[in-house]
Chain A
Amino acid sequence: MATHTGAAPSRGRRFVSQLRRLYAVPTAAFGTTVFVLFLALALLGPWIAPYGANQQDYQGARMAPSSLHWFGTDHLGRDVFSRVLLGAGEILWLSGGGTLLAVLCGTAIGLLSGYLGGWLDELIMRLFDSLLALPALLLALLMLGILGASAWSVLIVMVVVYTPIVARVVRSVVLSVKTRGFVEAARLQGESLGWILFREILPSVLPTLAVETAVRFSYGIFLVASLGFLGVGVQPPSPNWGLMVKEARQTISQTPWALYYPAGAISILVIGVNLMADGLKRIFQTRHD
C-alpha cells in the first residue's frame, strides 16, 4: 500500500497549507499581505491614529505633509493620515459585511434555485437578470435614492446588488455538481433537501465561492468608495475614502495630498484584494485539475 496512509488533515492544517500556497505565488503573496496589513491598520486604527477623524484646526488647515501631519491636513484642518487610517475600518467593515451578507443570501438562493430547477429557478434567474441588466452603480444610486443615504443603506444596497451575481455563480456550480454521482446517490439514499444542499453540494461550491467572495469584496470596496465619492453613501464627516476624495477634489489645487492619499489607499487595497482573489483562484483551480 502506498503512502496515503494518514487520516484527513485537520481543518486548521489545511488552512495553513492553503495560506502557504497563497504565498507561493508572488502576486498573491503581495495581495494577501496588503489585505492583512490594511486589516491590521483598520483594527489598530483607533489606537494609533494621532488625531481624531473629525478633529479640526483652522489655523492648521491645508498644510502640506510634514512630520506633524504625515499626509498633511485637508481644507478643514483635519489630519489626512488619521482619516485614512480610521477610514480603513469603515470601508473594510462595510464592504466586508455587505459582501458576506450578499454571499450568504446568494449562496442560499443559488443552491436552492440551481438544485430544484424548474419554474422557481426560471423565475429567480429572470428576476436576477433584470436586476443585473442595470449597472451596479446605477442600481445602487436608485436604491439609495429610495432608502436615503446612510451606512445601513449602503449595506442593503450591496446585498441587493451582489446577491444576484453570487447566486448565479453558485447556481452554475450547483448545476454541474448536481449531476454528479454522489448527489444522485444521496437522492437515492433518501437524504433530505437540507443535507443534499449543505453537505453534499455546498462543499464543492466553496472553492468557487471563496474566489467569488474575494472578487466581490474588491468590487465592494470600490462600490462603497464610489458611493462615498458620489455623496450618496456614507455621510460626512465620516472618513470614508471615497467621500474624502470627493471633498478633496474641490480643493485639489490647494490640498492635492488630501486627494492622493485616500485615492491611493483605495487603489492599493482594491489591487491587493484582487491579486489575492487571483491567487485563490489559482489554488482552487490547480486543486481541481
Chain B
Amino acid sequence: MINEKTAPALNIKDLCVAYQQEGEWWEAVHEVSLQIQPGEIYGLVGESGSGKTTLALAVLRYLGKNGMIRQGKIELSGVDLVQLQPAEMRKLWGHQMALIPQNPQSSLNPAMRVGDQIAEVYRHTQDMETGEARHKAVEMLREVNIPDPGRVTLSYPHQLSGGMQQRVLIAMALSSNPSLLILDEPTTNLDVTTQATILDLLRSLIEQRQTAALYITHNLAVVAQMCRRAGVLYAGRLVEEAFINELFARPLHPYTQGLLESMPRLGDHKDSVRLRAIEGRAPVFGDIPSGCVFRPRCPIANEICETNPPLSVLPEGRKVRCHRWEVSLNEAGRSHLPDGRSDRNTTEKHQLQPLLSLEGVSVHYPLKRSLREVVRREPKRAVRAVEGMDLKILSGQTLGLVGESGSGKSTLARATLGVVDKTAGTIELLGIQLPDKLSRRTLDTLRKVQSVFQNPEEALNPYLTVGEILQRPMMTLLGWSRQEAIGRVPDLLRAVRLPAMYAERLPTQLSGGEKQRVAIARASAAKPNLLICDEPVSALDVSVQASILNLLEDLQAEHGNSLLFISHDMAVVGFLADTIAVIYLGELVEIAETGDLFKSPYHPYTEALLSAIPGTKVESRRVAAPLVGEIPSPIEKPGGCPFHSRCPRLVGEICKRQPPPWQSQQGSSKRYLCHIPWEELQAQQGDIQGFEISRG
C-alpha cells in the first residue's frame, strides 16, 4: 500500500519551464509542484498545449536546445535532477527513470530484432553478458503477457501490431526496474479493446513493482481507471489536484468541471442531456491572460479573477487554484433536458421516409498481384473493406457507425460519398440509385450529400480565407452569384457560433475546433439532406468536442437533415445517434436503436467494445475472457462468423464453419449476428454500468 508518510519518489517543486521562440522566452510550465509516492500512479490531465509533455521532458531533463528549466526542483529519490550534469543524467535514464511514449513505432529501432533491443537495456544498465541478457529479455516479455515470447524476440518491430509494440516498450522500460516511470499517452493510438488490456497490464506491473508513475493523458476516463491521484494542468499551471474519487465526484475548478461535463458518458443521449462545452480556446504562447489563466473561458469569472489566484490547499489532499472554487462547486452540474424535449421523438419511426438505403454494398480494393502470382495464375486478391452491408438512414435521423480501426466504417462513408467505387450492391438516395463515380452524380445529388472530415487541419484549404471557403458550395451547388454567396457567409458563421469577422481569416489563424466549425458550416451551406461525419471530433480536445457535438445536434434540429455519424467512441455515438450500427471487419454485426443497444444481449464484439471503455463495467454473469488476438487481415477473412477468431463467447466449430444468423426479438429494435440465441446470450450478459459520479 502507498504510505503518505514516506518520502515521495518524485518531488517537483515550483517548477517553471520556458521555451525560446523567435528570440523570446515563453513559459510553458509555471510553478508546478507535485509529489508521487512509490507505487502510486499520478495522473496529469491536460489538453494539447497545456504543457504536460513539457513537464515530462523537464523531469527527464530532455528539453530541446530551446527549452530551459527556469526555476524549481525536481527531486528523484532525494536527488535534485535540476542540478545534475548531462553526463550524470544519462546514467539515470534507463536506470532510475524510464519513459513509455505515445508512438511505439518511432521508439523502436526498425532495423533491430526486438529481443536484442531489450537485451541491450540489460547489458547497459545491469552489465549483463549477452546470453544472460537475452534470457532476461524473454522473461520480461513473458511478464508483459506476450504470448510465445521466444518467437517475438526474433521479430522486427514492423512485424508486431501496435499493441504488441507497446508491450515491448513497456518491457524495455521496466527491465531496469526504474523508480520512476513516465507514461506519455501510452494508449492514445491504440484501439479501445487493446487499450483496455494494456491499461490492465500497466496497472498490475506498477503495483507489483512499487514504481512511481507519472501518467500523462488527455483522457479523463483513463485517469479514472488508472490513477490514485490526479492533477489538472491548464496553460502550464496545475489548477487542481485531488484523489481520483474526489476529483470526479466533486471537481472544484471550473475547468475540471468543464472537462468532466463536456464528455458524454455512456448512455447519455442528446434527447436528455446537453453537453456543457467550454467556450473559447486554450491560450497559446505569448498569449497567456493576466490573473487567472482560465478567466476568458470561465463561466463564473468576475473582477477578482483578474488577479493571480492562490493555490488553496484543502483537506484530504486537495489543492485548487481558483478564487471562486466555492461558487463553482454550487454552479456545477450538467443541464438535463426536460423529458420529451425533442419533437422528433414524437414522430413514429416507421412513418419516416428512408433517405439513404444501402443494400448489399461491398467495397473491395483489388491488390496488385506479384509477378509470381501472375505466373502461377493465382486468383486476384482484394482487401474486402466492406462486405454486403445493408443499412438505412431515415430522414432527420442520425445513424451512428461504430467499429475499431480497420472495420471499414470510413470506406462505407466514402463509397456513399462517391469517392471510392463500390464493388457490389446499390446505394439509393430518396429512392434514386446513385452512380458510383462522383463525376457522374448531378449537382443536386452532390448538394444532398455532404461531408465533414476527421482531421480539421486538412479539411480547409490553408490558402483560402474562411469567407472564400464558405462561398464556394453556394456558388457551385446552389448556383448563386458570388455576391449572394458572400451575403450568406455571416449567417453561416453565426450558425456555427463563429463571429462574422472570421470570414476574413485564413485557416491557419483558427484553432482546431474553429476549423471544424468552418468545415461544418461549409458542409451545411448548401442545405444537404445527409451530412456524413467521419470521426469529426476525434482529433479535437475534449473541451472542444462537446461544442462540436452540440453544434451538429443543433444544426440537425434546425435543418432536419440526416446524419451518418462515424466514431470509434461508443459514448459519443451513443450520445448523438438514433440508431447505432456496429461493424466488424466490414460486416454489420449488430444494429439497434440507441436505447436498445445498451441493453443486453449484445453481440460479443459489442460487449467487448463496451467493457473496454475505461471505467465501464458490463455485469457479466459468466465472466467473459478479454478479447484475444488481433483483428484478422481483411484480405484473408476467416470463414463462418467474422468474429470467431477473437470471440470470447465462442460456441464451437459451428462459428468457424457456418455464417451466423441474425438474432432478434419482438419488442426490441436490436438485431445481432450470432449463433448464440437471444435468451441464452442475455443470460450470460448483464447490463452495462457506465462510471457514474455521484454528486456530493
- Name B454's closest neighbour in chain A (CB-CB): A181
When A and B form their complex, what is the total count of cross-chain residue pairs whose Cβ atoms lie within 8 Å?
A: 82
Contact of B453 among A1, A184, A189 (CB under 8 A): A184
Closest Cβ of chain B to A239, distance in Å, is 42
Which residues of A140-195 have CB atoms within 8 Å of chain B's CB atoms?
180-182, 184-191
Assess the A199–B464 pair: CB atoms within 8 A: yes
Scan A77-98; emit 1 where CB is below 8 A from any B CB, else 0.
0000000000000000000000
Assess the A7–B472 pair: CB atoms within 8 A: no
Bound: A64/B118 CA distance, A: 71
User: Does B438 touch A at the CB level, under 8 Å?
Assistant: yes
Closest Cβ of chain A to B473, distance in Å, is 5
User: Does A121 touch B at the CB level, under 8 Å?
Assistant: no
Closest Cβ of chain B to A51, distance in Å, is 49
Using Cβ atoms and an 8 Å threshold, which residues of chain B touch A52? none
User: Does A117 touch B at the CB level, under 8 Å?
Assistant: no
Assess the B287–A189 pair: CB atoms within 8 A: no
Assess the A185–B443 pair: CB atoms within 8 A: no
User: Does B149 touch A at the CB level, under 8 Å?
Assistant: no
User: Does A66 touch B at the CB level, under 8 Å?
Assistant: no
User: Does A3 touch B at the CB level, under 8 Å?
Assistant: yes
Which residues of A196-234 have CB atoms within 8 Å of chain B's CB atoms?
199-200, 203-204
Assess the A4–B476 pair: CB atoms within 8 A: no
Using Cβ atoms and an 8 Å threshold, which residues of chain A touch B523? 185
Closest Cβ of chain B to A151, distance in Å, is 36
Contact of B281 among A2, A187, A188 (CB under 8 A): A2
Which residues of B519-536 have CB atoms within 8 Å of chain A's CB atoms?
519, 522-523, 526
Assess the B505–A4 pair: CB atoms within 8 A: yes
Closest Cβ of chain A to B608, distance in Å, is 31
Bound: A187/B439 CA distance, A: 9
Contact of A186 among B458, B472, B504 (CB under 8 A): B472
Bound: A204/B507 CA distance, A: 13
User: Does B620 touch A at the CB level, under 8 Å?
Assistant: no
User: Does A8 touch B at the CB level, under 8 Å?
Assistant: yes
Bound: A189/B441 CA distance, A: 11
For chain A, the count of residues having a C-beta within 8 Å of the partner chain is 22
Contact of A185 among B287, B451, B462 (CB under 8 A): B451
Contact of A182 among B417, B418, B458 (CB under 8 A): B458
Size band of the interface chain B makes with A: 35 or more
User: Does B284 touch A at the CB level, under 8 Å?
Assistant: yes
Bound: A185/B477 CA distance, A: 12
Scan A1-32; emit 1 where CB is below 8 A from any B CB, else 0.
11111011000000000000000000000000
Assess the A182–B472 pair: CB atoms within 8 A: no
Contact of B458 among A8, A180, A203 (CB under 8 A): A180
Closest Cβ of chain B to A155, distance in Å, is 31
Q: Are A8 and B477 CB-contacts (below 8 A) given A2-B284, A199-B464?
A: no
Which residues of B471-490 have CB atoms within 8 Å of chain A's CB atoms?
472-473, 476-477
Assess the B522–A204 pair: CB atoms within 8 A: no
Assess the B522–A185 pair: CB atoms within 8 A: yes
Which residues of B419-456 have CB atoms within 8 Å of chain A's CB atoms?
419, 438, 443, 446-447, 449-451, 453-455
- Name B418's closest neighbour in chain A (CB-CB): A188
Assess the A181–B476 pair: CB atoms within 8 A: no
Using Cβ atoms and an 8 Å threshold, which residues of chain B touch A181? 453-455, 458-460, 519
User: Does B280 touch A at the CB level, under 8 Å?
Assistant: yes
Closest Cβ of chain A to B464, distance in Å, is 7
Q: Are A191 and B296 CB-contacts (below 8 A) given A4-B505, A8-B505, A204-B462?
A: no
- Name A193's closest neighbour in chain B (CB-CB): B439
Using Cβ atoms and an 8 Å threshold, which residues of chain A touch B451? 184-185, 188
**Interface-centre pick from A1, A180, A186, A189 (highest chain B CB count, 10 A):** A189
Closest Cβ of chain A to B471, distance in Å, is 11
Using Cβ atoms and an 8 Å threshold, which residues of chain A touch B287? 2-3
Closest Cβ of chain A to B34, distance in Å, is 28
Assess the B477–A187 pair: CB atoms within 8 A: no
Closest Cβ of chain A to B44, distance in Å, is 24
User: Does B48 touch A at the CB level, under 8 Å?
Assistant: no
Using Cβ atoms and an 8 Å threshold, which residues of chain A touch B418? 188
User: Does B626 touch A at the CB level, under 8 Å?
Assistant: no
Assess the A204–B463 pair: CB atoms within 8 A: yes
Bound: A2/B293 CA distance, A: 12
Bound: A184/B523 CA distance, A: 12
Bound: A7/B504 CA distance, A: 5
Using Cβ atoms and an 8 Å threshold, which residues of chain A touch B204? none
Using Cβ atoms and an 8 Å threshold, which residues of chain A touch B519? 181, 185
User: Does B189 touch A at the CB level, under 8 Å?
Assistant: no
Spell out B's residues near A (CB within 8 Å): 280-281, 283-284, 286-287, 296, 417-419, 438, 443, 446-447, 449-451, 453-455, 458-465, 469, 472-473, 476-477, 501, 504-506, 509-510, 519, 522-523, 526
Spell out A's residues near B (CB within 8 Å): 1-5, 7-8, 180-182, 184-191, 199-200, 203-204
Given contact pairs A2-B284, A186-B461, enumerate 14 new A-B contacts (beta carbons under 8 Å): A180-B458, A180-B459, A181-B458, A182-B458, A182-B460, A185-B522, A187-B419, A188-B446, A188-B449, A189-B446, A189-B472, A189-B526, A190-B443, A200-B464
Q: List 9 A-B contacts (CB under 8 A).
A: A4-B505, A7-B504, A181-B459, A182-B459, A184-B453, A189-B476, A190-B447, A190-B476, A203-B463
